[in-house]
Amino acid sequence: MRIWLNKYFGFSKGEFNGLMLLILIIGVLKSFPLIYNYYKPIEKDDDNLLASIQKITITDEENFRSTRDKIENSSITKSARLFKFDPNTIDVDGWQTLGLSQKQAQPIVNYRNKGGKFYKAEDLQRMYTISPEMYKSFCLT
């Protein structure tokens, strides 16, 4: 093989030995995961593990539903009132009247205060705080 490599590539004896060492190192590194997985001990799961996971999932879903129902029925949530508005002049309270929270309305006002302008209705879609459903409800007014 050394004669073939020397004939076509012009490797010296030292270069050939270095190439063989490099190929050996690459082969060992590539085969290491296969050898490790073959000799690694197999971990056994507990028989009740699946039942425990399902119980946790069901409990989490029940907690989520109960929390969602509390939020929907609480007096904290405001009912949105839609009206015609100019997004370049409306303040945070106006956005809250439209149904956005304080945290959703403030970035819009900050954008406008730093020089941003809304030239057409589609420009509101660029604001990440306005969901597509909320945008559609704005356009219906």
Q: Which residues of 67-97 are buried (b: 16+ CB within 10 A; e: fewer)?
A: eeeeeeeeeeeeeeeeeeeebeebeeebbeb
Chain segment 87-116, per-residue pLDDT in tens? 888 888 888 888 888 888 899 999 989 998
The pTM of this model reads 0.42
What is the structure's pLDDT at 25? 97
Residue 98 lies in a domain: yes
Q: For residue 131, give the DSSP letter.
A: -
Cα(58)–Cα(55) distance, rounded to whole angstroms?
5
What tokens were used for 120?
């057409």
Residue 83 lies in a domain: no
Residue 47 lies in a domain: no
Give backbone dihedrals phi and psi of 27, rounded to 5 degrees, phi first.
Answer: -65, -40
Residue 124 has pLDDT above 70, yes or no: yes
Token look-up 């030995």 returns: 17
Q: Higher-confidence residue: 76 or 128? A: 128
Residue 67 lies in a domain: no
User: Given CA atoms 89, 94, 96, 99 in this order, what sign does their dihedral have?
Assistant: negative
What mean pLDDT comes out for the span 30-47? 82
| Structural domains counted in the chain | 2
Q: Which domain holds residue 35?
A: 2-39
Residue 64 lies in a domain: no
Percent of the chain with pLDDT over 70: 80
Cα(68)–Cα(137) distance, rounded to whole angstroms?
22
